[in-house]
Copies of this chain bind each other. A is one copy, B any other.
């Protein structure tokens, strides 16, 4: 991808600094969910001259352009994801061990929304975050698992 195309896709335009290019490339290379620190580390592998503030400012710009989205939090760190599934509304299964992400359809709309409507409740926003362990992390010697609770 041409670097101006990348800039336009990730940031919706703006100046093609080496930092922004490195950050955009890092998000494009990510296969799963990542934190701001993860992204900073990946981007610094390509260009070490990147401050955390720049990473956060870039994330804000990429969220605004729709290139990234937020998918919940882990250990108090916000999780981000470059979502490639286009327009249709859906959610994600996030592996708490390796960060891998699977898409899952939005479970609302059937029972839940009916019930909300019956209660006179207009839904303006919802969060559905499903955490667990993916096949390869279950299969013996994957990365160390994190402990999490709630059914």
Contact = CB atoms under 8 A, between A and B. Distances in A.
Contacts of A129: 126-127
B126 A128 contact: yes
Interface string A118-143: 01111111111111111100100000
A124 to B, nearest CB: 5
Contacts of A89: 151
A112 interface: yes
Nearest to A136: B120
**Copies of this subunit:** 2
A124 B107 contact: no
Given A112-B104, A115-B105, A116-B102, A131 B125 contact: yes
A150 interface: yes
A95 interface: yes
Interface in A81-105: 89, 93, 95-96, 102, 104-105
Query: For this complex, into which size category does the number of interface residues on chain A fall?
Result: 35 or more
Contacts of A105: 111-112, 115
Interface of A: 72, 89, 93, 95-96, 102, 104-105, 107-108, 110-112, 115-116, 119-135, 138, 148-151
15 contacts: A72-B127, A96-B125, A105-B112, A107-B108, A107-B110, A107-B112, A116-B130, A120-B134, A120-B138, A123-B132, A124-B131, A124-B148, A125-B131, A125-B132, A126-B129
